[in-house]
Amino acid sequence: MKKRVAVVTGGIGGLGTEICKQLAKAGNKVIATDLAARAERVDAFIKDVDGLDIHFEPGDVGDFDACAKLVKKVEDEHGSIDILVNAAGITRDCTLRKMERTQWTDVMHINLDGVFNMCRNAVDGMLARGYGRIINISSVNGQTGQFGQTNYSAAKAGMHGFTMAMAREVARKGVTVNSISPGYCETALVMAVPEDVRNKIIDSVPVGRLGKPTEIARTVGFLAAEDAGFITGANIPVNGGLFMSS
């Protein structure tokens, strides 16, 4: 059987790296894309994923035309994009009353516009081929809101609406669109939260610890699988019990 081709944005980041590894170990060819400006991390990434069918392609999810070029390049060189994982994300934490306009627009631009930019460019090929798995990495904070994150919570909640709407539009064509809402995990993003604040958050997690990037990657692998075709428009929380809803 032909290998499926996966593109992972934020691919060399904390969650992204483990997502790439999980997808490659499941037998997919993986293209990790991330900012060229993060190039200093690429060598470590390549070493980390040594032996797996994972390739790095620089790209900026905030730039619509760059996303179009990236999608075309991957399709030309590898034949298709079958799996798209939107894992690129940033934080600019700050209470609303102190928030600069750029702290709002930067977060919306990367976290939400970035999902549009990639999906809009990848969707035609998926529909034409009658197969696709799109997985958007949202956040528990898009479900609950978080102090100091009006920008991030809004963008992550927006991803849920986007996911459900797109899922409806492509459901009859073999393309599924789902989101995952990670809780607090062992990533640089979470380690940037002041230690006292972070410790209080960890205390409030029923499982009593931060999540591991591999635990998020496992869920991506589940949704990206060939036989996950009846799961669409869903959001899977992976948060150690931090937020429970029926």
The first and second tokens of residue 77, run together, are 């060189």
Would you tell me which residues interact with ligand CAA (CB under 6 A)?
91, 93-95, 98, 139-141, 146-149, 152, 182-184, 189-190, 193-194, 197
Q: For the purposes of burial, counting CB atoms within 10 Å of the CB of 13, is it exposed (0-12), middle (13-18) or buried (19 or more)? A: buried
Is the CB of 147 or the CB of 168 nearer to ligand CAA? 147
Alpha-carbon distance of 212 to 183, in angstroms, equals 10
Alpha-carbon distance of 4 to 152, in angstroms, equals 32
Is the CB of 65 or the CB of 147 nearer to ligand CAA? 147
Active-site entry in 152, 157, 175, 177: 152
Active-site residue, 131 included = no
Angle 160-166-167 (CA atoms, 0-180°, nearest 5)? 85
Is the CB of 51 or the CB of 194 nearer to ligand CAA? 194
Alpha-carbon distance of 153 to 145, in angstroms, equals 5
Is the CB of 80 or the CB of 111 nearer to ligand CAA? 111
Q: For the purposes of burial, counting CB atoms within 10 Å of the CB of 189, is it exposed (0-12), middle (13-18) or buried (19 or more)? A: middle
Least Å from the CB of residue 23 to ligand CAA? 21
Least Å from the CB of residue 45 to ligand CAA? 20
Angle 145-148-153 (CA atoms, 0-180°, nearest 5)? 35
Least Å from the CB of residue 39 to ligand CAA? 24
The first and second tokens of residue 115, run together, are 């999902």
- Which amino acid belongs to residue 131? Y
Least Å from the CB of residue 93 to ligand CAA? 4
Least Å from the CB of residue 217 to ligand CAA? 15
Q: How close are the terminal C-alpha atoms of the chain, in Å?
A: 38
Is the CB of 111 or the CB of 176 nearer to ligand CAA? 111
Task: Name the residue whose CB lies closest to ligand CAA.
Answer: 148
Active site residues: 152
